[in-house]
Structure 1
Amino acid sequence: MQIQTDSPTYAIPSGDHVVTMRNRKRMDLTSVKSIDRFDQEEFLVRTSQGLLQIRGEELRIVHLDVDKGLLTLEGTVTTIQYDEEETGSRNFLHKLFG
């Protein structure tokens, strides 16, 4: 991935998943497919790179552009973790009947 740095704005190639965090207080994400669930302590975000779990305090959506796949959160971020797209129930059924 190349980020153009000769101007104050960055050109991010279409489809690339980028996460930026500023002082653990503001987080910007690209290539967001959907938000499965969220509250003030946890967001579960489906991205092009898998399921992203964001935990923290007083988390809230500042900006969401579904068409462009952009999400901006604010709050105190304590944990970010990626998981595979497939969740437990699908894996269990796949093992049984697979």
Structure 2
Amino acid sequence: MQYQAENQTITIPTGDHLISLRNRKRMDLTSVKSIERFDQQEFYVKTSQGLLLIKGEELKIVHLDVDKGLLTLEGVVKGIQYDEEQNLDGARGLLHKLFG
């Protein structure tokens, strides 16, 4: 897979997971399997390396190509965190908040 980044082309071995963050305002990701849930403050993205939680403000999808595993987001990125693959139902979230 090839990835275009500021005047250069980077070849990424198939399946490798890469995050590029520019000035906390634009994020490019590779090896994206699916977007589990999202709104303007949180994105839950399933990647080849596990579930990725992206937190921020005014987050929006600029580009998505699930066949190639590419995702580009814009907004103010405040944090990223990997988590174990899990079901994202509300009950698990509530129990985790209470007993987490």
TM-score by length of 2: 0.79
Q: % of aligned pairs identical? A: 71
Change (3 A) 1:12 1:35: same
**Structure 1 ranges of 4+ moved more than 4 A:** none
Structure 1 Cα separation of the partners of residues 88 and 61 of structure 2: 27
Structure 1 Cα separation of the partners of residues 58 and 9 of structure 2: 29
- Give the match for residue 60 of structure 1: 60
Change (3 A) 1:78 1:86: same
Structure 2 Cα separation of the partners of residues 23 and 42 of structure 1: 18
Structure 1 runs not aligned, ≥5 long? 1-6, 93-98
TM-score by length of 1: 0.80
Larger radius of gyration: 1
State the secondary structure of the residue aligned to 1:60: strand
**Which structure dedicates a bigger proportion of its chain to strand?**
2
Change (3 A) 1:31 1:88: closer
- Give the match for residue 30 of structure 1: 30
Q: Give 1:75-94 correspondences, 5 Å limit.
A: 75-87=75-87
Structure 1 Cα separation of the partners of residues 13 and 66 of structure 2: 17
Query: How many residue pairs get matched?
Result: 84
Q: Are residues 1:17 and 2:4 paired?
A: no
Q: 1:65 is aligned with what amino acid?
A: D
